[in-house]
Amino acid sequence: MKGTASPGRDGMGSKILRELVGSPSSLIGLVICVVVVFLAIFGPLVTSQDPYDLSKLNIMDNRLPPGSVGIDGAVYVLGTDGQGRDMVSAMIYGLRTSLLVGILTTALAMVIGTTMGLLAAYKGGWVDTIIMRLVDLILGFPMMLLALILLAALGPGIDKVILALVAVQWAFYARTIRGTALSEMNREYIEAARCLALSERRIIFRHLLVNCLPPVIVISTIKVAGAISAEATLSFLGLGVPITKPSLGLLISNGYRYLLSGSYWISIFPGILLMLTIFGINIVGDRLKEVLNPRLQENKAVE
Amino acid sequence: MLVFILRRLIQSVVVIFLVSILVFIGVFSIGNPADILIPAEASQMERDAAIKSLGLDKPMYEQYFIFLSNAMKGDLGRSFVFNQPTISLITARMPATLELAFCALFLSLVIGIPLGMIAGYKANSLLDRTIMTGSILGFSAPTFWTAILLIMVFAVGLHWLPPSGRGQLGKILGITTSLATWDGIRHLVLPVTSLSLFKISLVTRLTRSGIRETLPMDFVKYARAKGLRKSRIVFVHVFRNVLIPIVTVVGMELGSLIAFGVVTETIYAWPGTGKLLIDSITRLDRPMIVAWLMITVMLFIVINLVVDLSYSLIDPRIRLQRKKS
């Protein structure tokens, strides 16, 4: 019920923040997340060139090592890639693509999975059977493999990557939500809502949903990292985003060709940024899970 | 038990049938193989003949039924590109893939379980925090990225290990494997390490939470009260309970190791099935993709069955429940 939860809400928020800032590792994670999001939003304002605008690139500047000065006097702090792109600019634009895919995928998968899970739990019967068998089928296979096959069928493109990843990830939310919803269904407030003859839609979305959401929101932070990692892998294999708008994964893939000839920076720097991003999100998500998981807190109290 | 296995087998047949339809539709929507396979300078007549000989002129449902009836006889079609039976192409490469997957699995258990147990017992200590932060770092690094890093450092930088290929093979107990020769092992080290890093983190975290959940339970307190040796409590009472989630995940993860092998095999030029799949996708070799998927699905079904059966060996409660029902 909303009423019983709300008095603690504000306190909860600041408590979570305190827990996150409290331990050094989660503080690092939080800082990484903030910086990464900041770069992705405001990055284009600080980058020295638009890496997608081929007319601005100078092919004479290709594969310059970090710290070089280009023909027109521009300084390339992290070097340039095979087309003479400034690595810093390319990485920040790549980060935008990666984050966009990660966040959009997770949001869409969460909405679809949550709706399906709630429907399965509330309706029961054959609706439940069909949805959950489908979920079992999807979760029975590694996410990466399904996404790979789907993308092979759909062809490359940011929208298609998101579509393929959503098609795989929603099942996870559906299963989690269904489990929570089934136990919530036995609570009095659902019975009360039914006695008030509220519409099904209202009961499901206004009453059941709000009570099932917290665990899912926590899990979804970690899933953002998973989606970013999956997108990078798919793009690396050449099945993800198109070559004209490289994400971090594709930048690494482009640099991989020059790796054995010694131009390490084209691959290594996007890779470090990618790993830091995923690491930061995972640390925060992991800490959130610990803070919000009441079962673990009970254990702590026992000790 | 027999009834259980039988029911599972029937379920599996239904799943395989459904997957075959989905895969067929899916593969059909990937481009037109005739465009890639037939040279552009071929005349219209040559083109038609080639399309006919590949069976591409028939409508999709007819192609599916031909595929299905052949599949019943154990024939999953011929590769467009290699012009050889797909099954023999895949089985020839399967040992390399399985070798990689099993070695990575072994490594992740051997390293992950002890780390998880240490972290679980010393919960919230500095050691625990270090292990846990390390594990987050471990599963934050995408497999392809660690693979590249390892090549950078140990092959390009230090020249300690070869960057790609499978190396010399030998025989142990009649199985052809890289593990038999020193050269083979040297080739295995990098791919196995990069593939297992993610799993090591996973097993570590799983073991830790298993230990943390088991320790406060009554039977552990009782065992302590009985005055059992600490080592016996840890390795017999606690460990058995921790093992159940690990076995589940290991089953799932063996599947995902084979799937992620696609990435590792591509980077290390490992001659396994994963590389075959990626090559087939880029060349639109439809029979190859279909056969690969069907065989992988069957492999997964077998793995899942083995996992379910091994539960009842570890956990008597599940055995009892089944007898009752």
Considering only CB atoms, which chain B residues are within 8 Å of A145?
256, 259, 262, 296
> How far is the C-alpha of B74 from the C-alpha of B84, rounded, in Å?
14
| pLDDT over 90 at B88, yes or no | no
Q: Say how many Å lie between the first and final Cα of chain A, rounded.
A: 31
Helix axes B239-268, B182-214, angle to 10 degrees: 140
> How far is the C-alpha of B68 from the C-alpha of B139, rounded, in Å?
40
Encoded tokens for B24: 């067929």
Considering only CB atoms, which chain B residues are within 8 Å of A279?
136-137, 140
Element (H, E) at A220: helix A209-236
Predicted local confidence at residue B186, as pLDDT: 78
What residue in A sits closest to B155 (Cα-Cα)?
A260
In this predicted model, which residue has the larger pLDDT, A110 or A187?
Answer: A110
Mean pLDDT for all residues in chain A:
77
**In this predicted model, what pLDDT tens digit does every residue of B45-65 receive, in sequence order?**
777 777 777 667 677 777 777
Q: What is the mean pLDDT of residues B263-286?
A: 81
Judge: B163–A142 Cβ closer than 8 Å, yes or no.
Answer: no
> How far is the C-alpha of B306 from the C-alpha of A253, rounded, in Å?
38
| pLDDT over 70 at A48, yes or no | no
Comparing A276-285, B132-141, B171-180, which segment has the lowest mean pLDDT? Answer: B171-180
| pLDDT over 80 at B273, yes or no | yes
Name the residue among B140, B152, B212 with its Cβ closest to that of A275.
B140
**In this predicted model, what pLDDT tens digit does every residue of A18-30 receive, in sequence order?**
766 777 777 888 8
Q: Largest alpha-carbon pair distance within chain A? A: 77
Name the residue among B145, B256, B281 with its Cβ closest to that of A252.
B145
**Overall size of chain A counted in residues:** 303
Nearest alpha carbon to residue A46 among A96, A76, A88, A95: A88
Predicted local confidence at residue A84, as pLDDT: 65
Q: What architecture (CATH level 2) is domain A23-52+64-297?
A: Orthogonal Bundle (1.10)
Which residues have CB under 8 Å from B290's CB, separation 6+? B20, B23, B24, B27, B67, B76, B77, B86
> What one-character-per-residue DSSP string does B42-73 give?
--HHHHHHHHHHTTTTS-HHHHHHHHHHHHHT
Return the DSSP state at B180: G
Rg of chain A taking only CA atoms, in angstroms: 23
**In this predicted model, what pLDDT tens digit does every residue of A122-176 receive, in sequence order?**
887 888 888 888 887 787 777 777 888 788 777 778 888 899 899 888 988 888 8
Q: Are strands A75-76 and B170-172 parallel, antiparallel or unpaired?
A: unpaired
> What one-character-per-residue DSSP string does B5-24 give?
HHHHHHHHHHHHHHHHHHHH
**In this predicted model, what pLDDT tens digit does every residue of B248-257 receive, in sequence order?**
777 777 877 8
Given a contact cutoff of 8 angstroms between Cβ atoms, the answer to whether B118 and B203 are in contact is no
Q: Say how many Å lie between the first and final Cα of chain B, rounded.
A: 11
Which residues have CB under 8 Å from A217's CB, separation 6+? none
pTM attached to this predicted model: 0.79
Predicted local confidence at residue B157, as pLDDT: 75
A109 pLDDT band, cuts 50/70/90, is very high
Comparing A274-288, B4-18, B49-63, B196-210, which segment has the lowest mean pLDDT? Answer: B49-63
> How far is the C-alpha of B211 from the C-alpha of B26, rounded, in Å?
43
Encoded tokens for A209: 């949903």
Which residues have CB under 8 Å from B95's CB, separation 6+? B175, B176, B177
Given a contact cutoff of 8 angstroms between Cβ atoms, the answer to whether A267 and A176 are in contact is no
> What one-character-per-residue DSSP string does B267-312 give?
HHT--SHHHHHHHHHHTT-HHHHHHHHHHHHHHHHHHHHHHHHHHH
Residues of A with CB under 8 A from a CB of B: 23, 25, 137, 140-145, 148-150, 152-153, 225, 229, 232-233, 236-239, 249, 252, 256, 259-260, 262, 264, 267-268, 271, 274-275, 278-279, 282-283, 286, 296, 299, 302
Nearest alpha carbon to residue B264 among A233, A90, A262, A198: A233
Check: complex ipTM more than 0.85 = no
Which residues have CB under 8 Å from B316's CB, separation 6+? none
| pLDDT over 90 at A108, yes or no | yes
| pLDDT over 70 at B180, yes or no | no
Predicted local confidence at residue B218, as pLDDT: 78
Predicted local confidence at residue A17, as pLDDT: 73
**Overall size of chain B counted in residues:** 325
Which residues have CB under 8 Å from A41's CB, separation 6+? none
Does B151 touch chain A if contact means CB atoms closer than 8 Å?
yes
Residue given tokens 């499978």 in the structure block: B166
Predicted local confidence at residue A61, as pLDDT: 63
Domain chopping of chain A, boundaries: 23-52+64-297
Does B310 touch chain A if contact means CB atoms closer than 8 Å?
no
In percent, how much of chain A has pLDDT > 90? 4
In this predicted model, which residue has the larger pLDDT, A285 or A108?
Answer: A108
